[in-house]
Amino acid sequence: MLVQDQNAIVFVRRGETVRIEAVGKNALRVRATPERFSGQDWALEGAKPKKAQIEIGEGGASITNGRICCTVSPLGQLRFYKDGACILAEYYRMYEYDSPHTPSLRLLAREFRPARGGDWSLKVRFEANEGEKLFGMGQYQQDCLDLKGCMLELAQRNSQASVPFALSSLGYGFLWNNPAVGQVTFAKNRTEWTSESVKECDYWITVGDAPKEIVKNYTALVGRAPAFPANAAGLWQCKLRYRTQEEVLEVAREYHRRGIPLDVIVIDFFHWTRQGDWKFDPVYWPDPAAMVRELKSYGTRCMISVWPTVDKKSENFAAMRDAGLLVRPERGTQCFDFLGDSYIYDATNPEARAFLWEKCRKNYFEDGIDMFWLDEAEPEYAVYDFDNYRYHSGTVLQTGNIYPLCHARAFYEGQKAAGQEDICNLIRCVWVGSQKYGVVLWSGDILGNFQSLRDQFAAGLNVGIAGIPWWTTDIGGFFVNVKDPAHKELLLRWFEFATFCPVLRLHGDKGPSDIPNLDDREWGGGFCHTGLPNELWSYGEEVEAVLEKYVRLRVSLKPYILEVMREASENGSPVMRTMFYEFPKDKKCWQIADQYMFGSRYLVAPVLYAGMTERSVYLPAGRWKSLFGGEEYRGGRTVTVPAPADVIPVFEKL
């Protein structure tokens, strides 16, 4: 029976309870369960239902919130309309008088099946729309900008970040409000969302005239990035890995001597004693506070790597185990086996978050270190057997994708409580809403080749649409043979691209390296390997000159970059924007997958293939000026422009 419950439509059919209500601008939330609603709001925490127009009759029901309307058929099928036109319909193959499809398949749109051990597995099916394009969904290692036709795992891995918000070319945005492990398939014949273990179905849909309006509606509910600090908008210097305090200072002094501005220098892993101690090895880091003071005198902030792993030999392991602050394996006694035998702290547990922050506050923050590199934040397991782990929030199958958001929250709330305002931390994974905790997502440990560069191009644009505006990569890739002659071309092209990314950051395991360890201990800062140098001057004078040119260009663009960052804070717009985001009425811009807008002013056409010395660029209507050559172009057409090794085609909108 269909009933109105305050500002919601509720109906029960064949043991399933469905609730549809207005939440947000031009938006509706749909929940369904075979039991009772859990009361868990996940990414929509704090979002309140609002007044809606509801009609219930013998032929079904409808609920309208502004420009979106959902109709409910007598048999429970949902259809969504924008300004009267159907944009999304549940895939339903049961008998209905008005259905053009065969009823014999007996397929329901929302299918709950009992899962082993309790609760339910879930499939939700929608009709496919011919000609539709889909974008967003987070960060995946593939060069597909348009996700129509893709199958995406809804799970967190090193270099993969599931942020299940999709933006459609038909003028709607869809949020799968569920942190369970699963997958989505955007197939030609239907769209299918699955979760391996849930208590309920929960999704949210909004409509708008343009992508910017849709993203604004979405981020108004799930959160937006805070103000980006001006002292992090320039170059970030990093490598695997600076092993001593003196190495860090020598690099910073050299940047200062050369007059090259350096905003951030990063200290990578195994500066510590053991994983889970969360403190410097005093043998190689005798006076971190003095180091930070000297760095600040050069205008350089210091970032420190923090892993969520806790070695069984760590000084904190027993206390954390006994207090229930660690991830619990269902089978075996280990979660992570890189350079130790480790468990992982449970970021979904508020007590564990408080414990970790207190260690980092005492051992890093009090010495002046105010930026944290939240590596391994998926978290990374020795084997991604998601059914083998349990969090404070529930099983990983049911709640696992929320872990990186909780990990970011631990530091953001700790830093806020300590009085810090310019919070900007680096993280390797995110979920819906992570942006509100002041994190820069980087795209993980990726290969150094042009295919990988093309993958990052698509990843950066799609994760921005999914609500994560602060994003970066390991310039040149993480796994790299820098002695390969072809690497210099890749490095130049990647650095040019990165200059027009939200964060400009050098990093990577630059090999091959046979640099001996600093000592023979089986713990501490001296036993772990390091890569080859990775500073601007590490690749020869010719390369250095080009890289320095782009660093200085980046510095000159800082006022503009901060202006674009303010937009991200105010309306959720990404910093890197697909062409259709800025030009939604230009049909050609919905087809383009190799150029983008850096904010609203600059069109960027990176060189994504080896050996290219020119490339074609589509200029939308208007007047455009080449950033490097100064030539002016009339828009509304495709032009071919030169792209020598030291030039990335960039055009300013006049």
- Please report how the helices 350-363 and 403-417 are oriented relative to each other, as an axis angle in degrees rounded to 10: 50
The beta strands (E) that lie in 160-234 are given as 161-168, 172-176, 182-186, 190-198, 201-207
Number of DSSP helices (H) and strands (E) in the chain, helices first: 12, 41
Q: At residue 404, what is the residue type?
A: P
Q: At residue 268, what is the residue type?
A: D
Q: At residue 363, what is the residue type?
A: N
Alpha-carbon gap, residue 314 to 277, rounded angstroms? 6
- For the annotated catalytic residues, the residue numbers are 375, 378, 445
Q: Which residues contact 210 (CB under 8 A, 6 or more apart)?
A: 584
Dump the DSSP string for 212-279: HHHHHHHHHHH----PPPGGGSSEEE--TT--SHHHHHHHHHHHHHHT----EEEE-S-SBSSTTT-S
Q: Which candidate, 452, 547, 459, 561, places its Cα nearest to that of 500?
A: 561
Dump the DSSP string for 138-160: EE-SSS-SS-TT-EEEES-BTTB
The two three-digit tokens of residue 558, written as one number: 């800082």
Alpha-carbon gap, residue 392 to 309, rounded angstroms? 16
Burial 304-338 (b: 16+ CB within 10 A, else e): bbbbbbbbbbbebbeebeeeebbbbbeeeeebbee
Stated as kind and residue range, the H or E segment containing 19 is: strand 16-22
- Tell me the β-bridge partners of 11: 2, 18
Torsion of CA 408, 414, 420, 423, to 10 degrees: 0
On the question of a cis peptide bond just before residue 512, with omega within 30 degrees of 0, the verdict is yes
CB 624 within 8 A of CB 654: yes
CB 471 within 8 A of CB 504: no
Alpha-carbon gap, residue 321 to 295, rounded angstroms? 37
Alpha-carbon gap, residue 388 to 326, rounded angstroms? 14
DSSP state of 526: T
Q: Which residues contact 514 (CB under 8 A, 6 or more apart)?
A: none
CB 430 within 8 A of CB 470: no
DSSP state of 459: H
The two three-digit tokens of residue 20, written as one number: 């549809």
The two three-digit tokens of residue 156, written as one number: 């967190």
Alpha-carbon gap, residue 172 to 26, rounded angstroms? 10
Q: At residue 244, what is the residue type?
A: T
CB atoms < 10 A from the CB of 562, how many? 14
The two three-digit tokens of residue 417, written as one number: 């409580």
Q: Which candidate, 149, 150, 175, 173, places its Cα nearest to that of 163?
A: 175
